[in-house]
Amino acid sequence: MIRTAVFITTNLMIMLLIGFFLVITGMYSHNVAKMMFSACCIGFGGSFASLFLSQWIAIRSVNGRIIEKPSNEYEHWLVNTIQNQVNMVGVKMPKVVIYPANDINAFATGSKRNQSLVAVSSGLLQNMNNSEVEAVLAHEISHIDNGDMVMMTLIQGVLNTFVVFFASIIATVISTIIANIFFSNIKNHENNKHLTALNSTISSALMNILGTFASIVAMWFSRRREFHADAGAAKLVGAEKMIAALERLKTSKEPNEPNNIITFCIHGKRNSWFELFMSHPPLDQRIDALRKQYFKSTIK
């Protein structure tokens, strides 16, 4: 979390410095402070709203059922296993959810470490043995312990802010130049109409372009957190169990979880044509990383 805070603070300071530079040099004469404030509100507003509503959204997105009281032996085992793991890492018991899905998957979400949710698919319960399920649960508990949901929200908020801020500035500069060249002889009120329409078009296009680059950064962080969660699970239940669980994931059907959920799942979609846009590292990379870590630990 310290590194995340440093990242966010650094990037916001960069944005402030760029804003002051534009004002001082006269390169951009509009209200930069107002634009920065608006960009922050838009950038962080959506991210934090989705974070605080994440449990409500997640349960309804996957049609999940909260285990209020375990109704059978396996549900008792599931709840007790999660309780033991959260006791080990020192966080409060999350809500436990089971949702209908044929693929082997699970995810964790929540706005705080001590107010979280762990959901597992029916496909996971049907196709994994207890030790593999235990490893998957440990992976999700590691996400909670690491504060990954909050970290990804903050990172996405910063990236969204940059996208809105720079798209607005660049669009205003470009549209002003074009308007001065092509619309200089038109009356002022008509000029303003053309300028507004042009600014809106250019800004939308730039947000799409800059948003693509921002998603590459966000997905890089997402892939890194999967490696960390795998390592955290290996510490809780052992590397062998985590490796076995990842091997089992290779036999799973393609995940069908909604796009707003899949980033938080242990198993991401494999149909991405380019790894830069993947939210999860390939399973073989995750297995190799654990094997290297386990091999080093056994030597020591």
**Which position among 68, 75, 132, 140 bears the catalytic label?**
140
Alpha-carbon torsion angle 159, 164, 169, 170, nearest 10 = 80
Tell me the β-bridge partners of 121.
99
Nearest in space to 11 (alpha carbons), one of 123, 250, 3? 3
How far apart, in whole angstroms, are the C-alpha atoms of residue 286 and residue 290?
6
Residue 97 region, left (φ>0) first, then alpha (ψ -120 to 50), else beta? Answer: beta
Structure tokens given for 221: 């962080």
Contact by Cβ (8 Å): 223, 278: yes
- Residue 60 makes CB contacts below 8 A (sequence gap 6+) with none
Contact by Cβ (8 Å): 58, 99: no
**Is 140 tagged catalytic?**
yes
* SS3 state at 106: strand
Q: What is the DSSP string of 146-207?
A: HTHHHHHHHHHHHHHHHHHHHHHHHHHHHHHHHHHHHSTTS-HHHHHHHHHHHHHHHHHHHH
Q: What amino acid occupies position 259?
A: N
Catalytic residues: 140
